[in-house]
A and B are shown apart, each in its own frame.
Chain A
């Protein structure tokens, strides 16, 4: 594992690896998405209580899982960045944040759309909903913090500290439905004693979750390549300015002599 991380520490080696891998992850994502949509919208039964509205869960639940998983990955990467100073860790954390924020927004909005006909309200300030909303704000804070500093290294360090501080929110999100009386229902899949939902509903959920996971992997690989190209361009641009500056200085010196 450490050999793999060392292998990826070189940006151009990582870029080549990402360039070769991302078409396959995109292909897997599309296959999973088509199968998941076919099961979710057509080949799964309506719920005995929620009726057809249960189909929203096949987008809402995987998006909520992804928002937590991406934040967990960002926390690990921030630790890598602060302790081991791994060059790739900052890059991957920066590229993960917009994808995580988008999944959190999808979870919040689809949950709200599901809540109106089921609970009778678009939004309640209960523990689960509020903690996920805070997660969304932390994601936005991370994106802002990375871009606000002129010095990229300082920005990445500040964002890594924010990510680590925000990680306290993850167990709150997960256990909020057990610790407090919430309108949001408790876990029905990731719980002790195994999942309590029917296999026909489990299958579309798993396929959609895999589609979202491969979406994250694909666009993380693409986004990180873009960042590497951007850094390289910046470096070349600064080098060219230096060369031109030196040429102008030399010419003016010759002229004065």
Chain B
């Protein structure tokens, strides 16, 4: 049972880390270009 929990935890952790990193990368790039556009 506990070993199964590790598998489930790893799968969810991996998925959300990937989605979070990608989301943050896209959002920060968007904010950076938006600010540069406003300051130009």
Given A59-B12, A60-B11, A53 contacting B33 (CB threshold 8 A): no
Q: Mark A40-75, 1 if CB is under 8 A from B, else 0.
A: 010000000001110110011001000000000000
Give Cα A55 to B33, complex, Å. Answer: 39
Q: Which of A51, A109, A229, A232 contacts B4 (CB 8 A)?
A: A51
Give Cα A63 to B10, complex, Å. Answer: 15
Chain B residues with Cβ below 8 Å from A105 are 18
Chain A residues with Cβ below 8 Å from B3 are 117
Q: Which of A114, A116, A222 contacts B26 (CB 8 A)?
A: A222
Give Cα A149 to B8, complex, Å. Answer: 41
The answer to whether A223 touches B30, judged by C-beta atoms less than 8 angstroms apart, is yes
Give Cα A102 to B21, complex, Å. Answer: 10
Place the interface of chain B in its size category: 20 to 34
Chain A residues with Cβ below 8 Å from B29 are 223, 226
Chain B: minimal CB distance from A102 (Å):
5
Give Cα A235 to B4, complex, Å. Answer: 54
Chain B: minimal CB distance from A132 (Å):
15
Given A52-B5, A225-B30, A233-B40, A110 contacting B11 (CB threshold 8 A): yes
Chain B: minimal CB distance from A67 (Å):
12
Chain A interface, DSSP helix/strand/loop, else mixed? helix
Chain B: minimal CB distance from A204 (Å):
12
Look across to chain B and name the residue whose beta carbon is closest to the beta carbon of A117.
B7
The answer to whether B7 touches A114, judged by C-beta atoms less than 8 angstroms apart, is yes
Q: Which of B12, B14, B34, B40 contacts A236 (CB 8 A)?
A: B40
Chain B residues with Cβ below 8 Å from A51 are 4
A35 contacts B by Cβ under 8 Å: no
Given A55-B8, A106-B15, A110-B15, A226 contacting B40 (CB threshold 8 A): no
Give Cα A41 to B8, complex, Å. Answer: 9
The 10 closest A-B pairs by CB, nearest first: A229-B33, A226-B30, A110-B11, A56-B11, A113-B11, A59-B15, A106-B15, A223-B26, A226-B29, A229-B37
Q: A56-B12, A98-B26, A222-B30 are in contact. List 12 more A-B contacts (CB 8 A).
A: A55-B8, A63-B15, A109-B15, A113-B11, A114-B7, A117-B4, A219-B23, A223-B30, A229-B36, A232-B37, A233-B36, A236-B40
Could you list which residues of chain B lie within 8 angstroms of chain A, going by C-beta atoms? 1, 3-5, 7-8, 10-12, 14-15, 18-19, 22-23, 26-27, 29-30, 33-34, 36-37, 40
13 example contacts (A-B, Cβ-Cβ < 8 A) are as follows: A51-B4, A53-B8, A55-B8, A56-B8, A59-B12, A60-B11, A102-B18, A110-B15, A114-B11, A222-B30, A223-B29, A229-B37, A230-B33
